[in-house]
Chain A
Amino acid sequence: MSRQLPADYETYELRKIKIGIRMTILYALVYAGFIFLAVSQPDWMGLPFLFGQNLAITYGLGLILIAIFFALVYNYLLSRLVPKDLEQKTAHNKNTSKEKGN
């Protein structure tokens, strides 16, 4: 089952994983910040924050929009990561996985 992949492919995978984990931690921090604020300073959540909107709504809608933004950034970072010669190897990998599916 285990496929032998070239060494540079392995490092490519590793770099992808690193980017993924870093961005997850970053988002988790923003998310934890929301929970922490709501629990420790609940009254702040009702204060006007941005253009007449209170902090709770700004932060809450912000968390959703940031997630969408992060997803796009992640895709952009990964698309820049693939070196030209590797694209062929991943294309080859595509074919093998297709065969397995059938």
Chain B
Amino acid sequence: MAIVVFIIFVILILAISFRSGKRSKGAGGYFVANSSINWGVNGIAFAGSYLSVASFLGICGLIAFFGYDGFLYSIGFLAGWIIALFVIAEPMKRRGTFTFSDALNESFKRPGIQLAAGLSILVVSLFYIVPQMVGAGVLMEPLLGIPHAWGVIIVGAVVILIVTSGGMTSTTYVQFFNGGLLLTFAAVLTVAVLARGLQTDAHPVPVNISGLENYDYQQVAVEWDGETPRVDLLGVSVQDRYAVINPNTGQEDRVFFLLSRLVDFGATDDGDYIVRIKGHPVQFQDSDFQAGMLNFESLDGRDYLRIQDWWQLLPDGDGGYLLEETQSRVISASRNTVVNGIPEEIFSHMRLVGGIAQLPQEFGQSTGSLGPWKILSVLSDEETVLNRPGSASFQTESGEQVTIHYQQAIEGSIFMRPGLMFPLEPRPGESQTATLLNRLNFISLLATLFLGTAALPHILIRYYTVPDVDAARKSTIVAIAGIGLFYVLTMYLGVGAIANGALNPESNNMSAPLLARSFGEVLFAIISGIAFTTVLATMSGLIMAASGAVAHDLMTNIIKRDFSEKTKVLTGRIVSVVVGVLGIILGIMFKEMNVSFLVGWAFAVAASANLPSLLVVLFWKKATANGIIASILTGIVSSVGLILLSPDMWARYGLNPANAPMPLNQPGIISIPLSFLVLVAVSLLGQKKRAEAQPAS
């Protein structure tokens, strides 16, 4: 089903791009669609281009896993459009023809500006392409059952086809198509969530895709003396122990035990065996025993399977303790993967998690249909308790890489307010410095999103596809209305995903499609297909921006010759292929990162490199060409440099994040003001020199 919808979407998109591509002739046609796009179409295309997988998959995933803090991205992503509309849209359209470097350079005519601006477009586009590609891979893996890398390659190939076929014209119509689909189906899914309402039974619809079922974790009573837990399970022994230490207090926040135990298994009609793992049947054969992948043991004349799985120690509320099941992925030193105690090759999967543990008393087990306002207030009620996924990763002494996925009960009133991703209040026993850093990250992120939107290259080029300034303004307003509506809906999709227990503990990016799947195969297939077109729409816009920058800004100024339109279009096409291939490689490298988080970085680079010069050129008469060049370069170097030195990247290099030279993960709060300062300082120095050189004036 999913594959059929996917293929239909690909055919539709390619048909759109080849049909509209015929109309694009010459450099004006290739790079800016002859500036002949209707403002309404352009507005929806803005939405289709801007609402990337980061908005669609990323934000829904962050809201589902981190509650309100995920919604901060929605707020910031939209707020940035205010600057785009009120400050940038009209002057940008009035001053430029192809790229925003034209607008910057209008009164200076210095090749250096064009070069710096072209370079910054290229860097920002690449930063933004990475999360799009990661999202594509994440999506295609479960959807088509193909490995991450192949998903990325397929997406990359289709995007290259779109942009080389008809340049900006085909890109525009693909974006328009995608924008319409996104808005329509986000609304459909929201209505479905509201109509179903909230219930404590986490799987209201029978699900039949193997390996993705939700499961209520078992709990067993335990006698615990502070050392080894004693628990009543068949043939059980405690094999290992792991504790999460709070870095601020030095105390153990969470304790896990690895239990080795015996589980019952049965035979199927066709001679295979079947065992229930985390509530879900897993089939295996005699050959699995012979290959040594599974071990069985006899006890009192019966055969059992011996498995090892991790359990979490929890207080039972009456002064005693209990052990709760978790899910785990264990990768041995020889790269064999065991999921939930069974080798992954025998088709053992993670179960979906999430769901509502408790509703306010007045509702009992189920609320029935709820209105859009009511559902949020029920969720943020003090009596509501949600099962929120958490995870812990560590390495054992024998070199196994273990990731435990547990669930933690959390009050709705805490989930529906800021603090889970950026803890703004010190928790008991925590030092103030930990929260100071979180506060700075929080401010930095929101400031960056506000300032970054208007400086994104694939947004800026859309101003050149409309005929005049009025159309530029009107299409921006259509964009704000459409995008704003969509971001309001992300809230419902995110909370809907956790409330319906549709979370894959290993990939928060999959939350929206999995939520759709809880409403049946058709919606799942459509939503997955839309997520795919979303990647295509954003990617093609970014690649167009990058190829315009190279063909129009860099090439002309480095080789210092006027190229014919034909050569420019040819270069544009070649650059599109190169950038597309580069995107594929990076998309494979950054596989596990949340896409919204990565987009936060792209915004930081855009805001630092482009925004200061954009604003200053438009509104400050004393700005000099050198100031602008210095500001763009400072912005790129400082933001990229700070990202490379950040704790998140430190973790990526395999080093301890606490030792990273730069304590903040969000560089914007430093690099944006720095870029502004450099611009003003260099410009003022230049003015002074000029005044000295011409004393008469």
A57 to B618: give the CA distance in the assembly, Å.
36
Whether A39 contacts B34 by the Cβ 8 Å rule is: no
Q: Among B82-90, B190-198, B390-398, B550-558, which stretch is in contact with chain A?
A: B82-90
Task: Assess whether B81 is interfacial by the CB under 8 Å rule.
Answer: yes
Whether B35 contacts A70 by the Cβ 8 Å rule is: no
A83 to B74: give the CA distance in the assembly, Å.
38
A70 to B87: give the CA distance in the assembly, Å.
13
Q: How many residues of A contact B (CB 8 A)?
A: 47
- Which single residue of chain A is at the shortest CB-CB distance from B25? A102
| Of the residues B68, B474, B476, B480, contact of A56 by C-beta under 8 Å | B68
- Which single residue of chain A is at the shortest CB-CB distance from B488? A64
Task: Assess whether A100 is interfacial by the CB under 8 Å rule.
Answer: yes
Whether B85 contacts A71 by the Cβ 8 Å rule is: yes
Contacts of A35 in B (CB 8 A): 442-443, 446-447
Whether B87 contacts A21 by the Cβ 8 Å rule is: yes
In the complex, chain B residues 61-97 whose Cβ is within 8 Å of any chain A Cβ = 68, 71-72, 74-75, 78-79, 81-83, 85-87, 90-91, 93-94, 97
A61 to B34: give the CA distance in the assembly, Å.
38
A38 to B441: give the CA distance in the assembly, Å.
13
- Which single residue of chain A is at the shortest CB-CB distance from B440? A39
Contacts of A63 in B (CB 8 A): 75, 78-79
A23 to B246: give the CA distance in the assembly, Å.
45
Which of B83, B468, B485 counts the most chain A CB atoms within 10 A? B468
Whether B97 contacts A39 by the Cβ 8 Å rule is: no
Question: If A43-B425, A57-B68, A63-B75 touch, does A24 touch B82 (CB 8 Å cutoff)?
Answer: yes
- Which single residue of chain A is at the shortest CB-CB distance from B413? A46
Whether A54 contacts B416 by the Cβ 8 Å rule is: yes
Which of B82, B87, B94, B373 counts the most chain A CB atoms within 10 A? B82
Question: If A20-B87, A75-B473, A102-B28 touch, does A56 touch B34 (CB 8 Å cutoff)?
Answer: no
Whether B86 contacts A74 by the Cβ 8 Å rule is: yes
Question: If A21-B87, A28-B450, A43-B425 touch, does A61 touch B418 (CB 8 Å cutoff)?
Answer: no
Contacts of B374 in A (CB 8 A): 52
Question: If A46-B413, A78-B473, A97-B35 touch, does A39 touch B424 (CB 8 Å cutoff)?
Answer: yes
Whether B467 contacts A27 by the Cβ 8 Å rule is: no
Whether B377 contacts A53 by the Cβ 8 Å rule is: yes
Whether A64 contacts B74 by the Cβ 8 Å rule is: yes
Q: How far is the CB of B488 from chain A (nearest CB, A)?
A: 6
Question: If A16-B90, A68-B484 touch, does A74 touch B468 (CB 8 Å cutoff)?
Answer: no
Question: If A67-B79, A75-B474 touch, does A98 touch B35 (CB 8 Å cutoff)?
Answer: yes
Task: Assess whether B353 is interfacial by the CB under 8 Å rule.
Answer: no
Contacts of A31 in B (CB 8 A): 79, 446, 450
Secondary structure at chain A's binding surface: helix, strand, loop or mixed? helix
Q: How far is the CB of A26 from chain B (nearest CB, A)?
A: 9
Whether B377 contacts A39 by the Cβ 8 Å rule is: no
Whether B468 contacts A38 by the Cβ 8 Å rule is: no
A80 to B314: give the CA distance in the assembly, Å.
65
| Of the residues B373, B413, B446, B470, contact of A54 by C-beta under 8 Å | B413
Task: Assess whether B189 is interfacial by the CB under 8 Å rule.
Answer: no
A75 to B481: give the CA distance in the assembly, Å.
13
Whether A90 contacts B470 by the Cβ 8 Å rule is: yes
Question: If A35-B442, A71-B477, A71-B481 touch, does A101 touch B28 (CB 8 Å cutoff)?
Answer: yes
A102 to B464: give the CA distance in the assembly, Å.
12
Question: If A56-B418, A102-B34 touch, does A23 touch B413 (CB 8 Å cutoff)?
Answer: no
Whether B419 contacts A51 by the Cβ 8 Å rule is: no
Secondary structure at chain B's binding surface: helix, strand, loop or mixed? helix
- Which single residue of chain B is at the shortest CB-CB distance from A62? B75
Whether B425 contacts A42 by the Cβ 8 Å rule is: yes
Task: Assess whether A7 is interfacial by the CB under 8 Å rule.
Answer: no
Task: Assess whether B380 is interfacial by the CB under 8 Å rule.
Answer: yes
Question: If A21-B87, A64-B74, A94-B467 touch, does A57 touch B416 (CB 8 Å cutoff)?
Answer: yes
Whether B439 contacts A60 by the Cβ 8 Å rule is: no
Whether B417 contacts A70 by the Cβ 8 Å rule is: no
Contacts of B78 in A (CB 8 A): 63-64, 67
Question: If A39-B439, A53-B380, A93-B468 touch, does A64 touch B82 (CB 8 Å cutoff)?
Answer: no
| Of the residues A24, A97, A101, contact of B83 by C-beta under 8 Å | A24
Question: If A27-B82, A35-B442, A70-B82 touch, does A57 touch B376 (CB 8 Å cutoff)?
Answer: yes
Q: How far is the CB of B366 from chain A (nearest CB, A)?
A: 19
Whether B418 contacts A45 by the Cβ 8 Å rule is: yes
Whether A39 contacts B450 by the Cβ 8 Å rule is: no
- Which single residue of chain A is at the shortest CB-CB distance from B446? A35
Whether B87 contacts A24 by the Cβ 8 Å rule is: yes
| Of the residues B85, B373, B481, B491, contact of A74 by C-beta under 8 Å | B85
Question: If A64-B75, A65-B484, A102-B28 touch, does A42 touch B419 (CB 8 Å cutoff)?
Answer: yes
Identify the 8 closest CB pairs spanning chains A and B, nearest first.
A101-B35, A20-B86, A52-B377, A42-B424, A46-B417, A94-B468, A56-B417, A71-B480
List residues of chain B with CB under 8 Å of any chain A CB: 26, 28, 32, 34-36, 68, 71-72, 74-75, 78-79, 81-83, 85-87, 90-91, 93-94, 97, 106, 373-374, 376-377, 380, 413-414, 416-419, 424-425, 439, 442-443, 446-447, 450, 464, 467-470, 473-474, 476-477, 480-481, 484-485, 487-488, 491, 618-619
Beyond A38-B424, A64-B484, A68-B481: 5 further Cβ-contacts under 8 Å?
A46-B414, A46-B416, A57-B380, A68-B484, A74-B85
A-B contact pairs, 21 of them (CB 8 A): A1-B106, A16-B90, A20-B87, A24-B82, A31-B446, A39-B442, A39-B443, A42-B424, A46-B417, A51-B373, A63-B78, A64-B78, A67-B79, A67-B81, A72-B477, A74-B85, A75-B477, A97-B93, A98-B35, A101-B36, A101-B464
